[in-house]
């Protein structure tokens, strides 16, 4: 399957201020790599070659990260630092990464609309720039497998504690005899009383290009933003959607504490695991 990926990363990142006043949140390091590189890696691991990042003013550091740095490469070659050389060249060797700007941060739906020309007539994967999913298998690959079975849009979902469902797009589901989860309805940031379930749309979606005419209407929803969930809910009126409860652990890196949790978990999965464990043990007295 020739699936393309779109990574919306044009948000203002106000929850991560003041750090994000000058540094895009996607470039803040999750242990030793920028947050966005984990998302790109997931797409690459799923076999996706063409990736479009939706960027915005002031986020040029992101473009430079996925470009060549001749001076640095020459130095690492000279010093025979092959591992580091591989790390800084894989950012442009592993996939064809391009960028387009969202002119104003009008919402996730409007950011996805900026991908229209890139997407063309094929289904495409959306990996939200804030959501890192760690696991053995690329989460978007799990969604692609559901797409291959159904040829319908697929929503990546996870059950969240009931009191948190109001932060997310929420789905109502029905299990089919073959085990597939059909989406009956979806709603963005429902109140705790009206939420149809505790299943949230968490950062991964496969969509078809018929979403674009809906997004083009630019209808504003919650927080006065063009919400992707609202557009998908409209498409659901004429098309079946399925859900995929992906297995990996989800981190919302748009939030300070979750960002720290993602960093610690990435550090514990790295070759510096033992040093990280000692460091964590040394701070236990401060938890009292
Ligand atoms: P968020 O809801 O986290 O918004 O976006 P935000 O503006 O980035 O962050 P806060 O809430 O101000 O801290 C979810 C995802 O959608 C992208 C973001 O970059 C993030 O990956 N997004 C959001 C856009 O690309 N454009 C937008 O207009 C809004």
| Residue nearest to ligand 1 atom 5, measured at CA | 11
Across the range 36-41, mean pLDDT stands at 96
227 pocket-lining for ligand 1 (C-beta < 6 Å): no
Three-state DSSP at 158 gives: strand
Q: Per-residue confidence at 273, pLDDT binned at 50, 70, 90?
A: very high
**The pLDDT value given to residue 288:** 81
**Among candidate residues 192, 179, 24, the one with its CA nearest the CA of residue 105:** 24
118 contacts 52 by C-beta, under 8 angstroms: yes
107 pocket-lining for ligand 1 (C-beta < 6 Å): yes
**The pLDDT value given to residue 126:** 98
Determine the distance separating the centroid of ligand 1 and the alpha carbon of 175, expressed in angstroms.
Answer: 31
Determine the distance separating the centroid of ligand 1 and the alpha carbon of 111, expressed in angstroms.
Answer: 9
- C-alpha span between 221 and 209 (Å, rounded): 21
Residue-wise pLDDT tens digits, 119-176 = 999 999 999 999 999 999 999 999 999 999 999 999 999 999 999 999 999 999 999 9
254 pocket-lining for ligand 1 (C-beta < 6 Å): yes
- Please give the number of the atom of ligand 1 that sits closest to the Cα of 16: 13
211 contacts 112 by C-beta, under 8 angstroms: yes
- C-alpha span between 237 and 244 (Å, rounded): 20
DSSP 17: T
11 pocket-lining for ligand 1 (C-beta < 6 Å): yes
Q: Is 94 exposed, middle or buried (0-12, 13-18, 19+ CB in 10 A)?
A: middle
**The pLDDT value given to residue 5:** 98
| Residue nearest to ligand 1 atom 9, measured at CA | 13
207 contacts 108 by C-beta, under 8 angstroms: no
Three-state DSSP at 186 gives: strand
**23: CB partners within 8 A, 6+ apart:** 61
| Residue nearest to ligand 1 atom 3, measured at CA | 254
15 pocket-lining for ligand 1 (C-beta < 6 Å): yes
**The pLDDT value given to residue 2:** 83
- C-alpha span between 33 and 88 (Å, rounded): 10
62 contacts 55 by C-beta, under 8 angstroms: yes
Across the range 200-205, mean pLDDT stands at 96
**156: CB partners within 8 A, 6+ apart:** 133, 139, 140, 142, 143, 201, 202, 203, 204, 205, 243, 244, 246
First to last CA, the chain: 52
Determine the distance separating the centroid of ligand 1 and the alpha carbon of 130, expressed in angstroms.
Answer: 8
Indicate whether this model's pTM tops 0.75.
Answer: yes
- C-alpha span between 19 and 140 (Å, rounded): 29
- C-alpha span between 118 and 102 (Å, rounded): 14
Q: Per-residue confidence at 63, pLDDT binned at 50, 70, 90?
A: very high
Across the range 55-80, mean pLDDT stands at 95
- C-alpha span between 243 and 199 (Å, rounded): 10
Count of positions (residues) in the chain: 288
Percent of the chain with pLDDT over 90: 95
Concatenated DSSP letters of 66-133 = TS--HHHHHHHHHTT-HHHHHHHHHHHHSSEEEEEE-SS---HHHHHHTTHHHHTTS-EEEE-TTEEE
Determine the distance separating the centroid of ligand 1 and the alpha carbon of 13, expressed in angstroms.
Answer: 6
215 pocket-lining for ligand 1 (C-beta < 6 Å): no
130 pocket-lining for ligand 1 (C-beta < 6 Å): yes
Concatenated DSSP letters of 198-240 = SEEEEEEEEE-GGGHHHHHT----GGGS--HHHHHHHHHTTS-
10 pocket-lining for ligand 1 (C-beta < 6 Å): yes
Determine the distance separating the centroid of ligand 1 and the alpha carbon of 249, expressed in angstroms.
Answer: 20
Determine the distance separating the centroid of ligand 1 and the alpha carbon of 250, expressed in angstroms.
Answer: 17
**The pLDDT value given to residue 271:** 93
């Amino acid at each position: 399957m020739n699936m393309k990926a779109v990574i919306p990363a044009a948000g203002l990142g106000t929850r991560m201020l003041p750090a994000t006043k000058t540094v895009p949140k996607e470039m803040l390091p999750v242990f030793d790599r920028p947050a966005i590189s984990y998302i790109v890696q997931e797409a690459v691991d799923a076999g996706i070659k063409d990736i479009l990042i939706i960027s915005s003013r002031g986020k040029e550091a992101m473009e430079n990260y996925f470009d060549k740095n001749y001076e640095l490469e020459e130095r690492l070659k000279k010093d025979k630092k092959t591992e580091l050389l591989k790390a800084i060249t894989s950012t442009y060797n592993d996939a064809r990464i391009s960028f387009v700007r969202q002119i104003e941060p009008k919402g996730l739906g409007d950011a996805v609309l900026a991908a229209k020309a890139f997407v063309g007539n094929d289904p495409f994967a959306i990996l939200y720039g804030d959501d890192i999913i760690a696991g053995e298998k690329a989460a978007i690959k799990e969604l692609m497998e559901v797409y291959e079975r159904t040829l319908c849009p697929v929503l990546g979902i996870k059950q969240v504690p009931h009191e948190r469902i109001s932060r997310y797009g929420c789905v109502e589901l029905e299990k089919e005899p073959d085990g597939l989860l059909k989406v009956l309805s979806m709603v963005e940031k429902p109140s705790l009383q009206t939420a149809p379930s505790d299943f949230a749309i968490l950062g991964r979606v496969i969509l078809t290009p018929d979403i674009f005419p809906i997004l083009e209407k630019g209808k504003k929803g919650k927080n006065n933003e063009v919400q992707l969930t609202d557009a998908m809910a409209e498409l659901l009126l004429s098309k079946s959607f399925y859900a995929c409860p992906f297995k990996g652990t989800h981190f919302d890196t748009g939030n300070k504490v979750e960002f720290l949790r993602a960093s610690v978990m990435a550090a514990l999965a790295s070759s510096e695991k033992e040093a990280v464990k000692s460091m964590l043990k040394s701070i236990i007295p401060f938890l009292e």
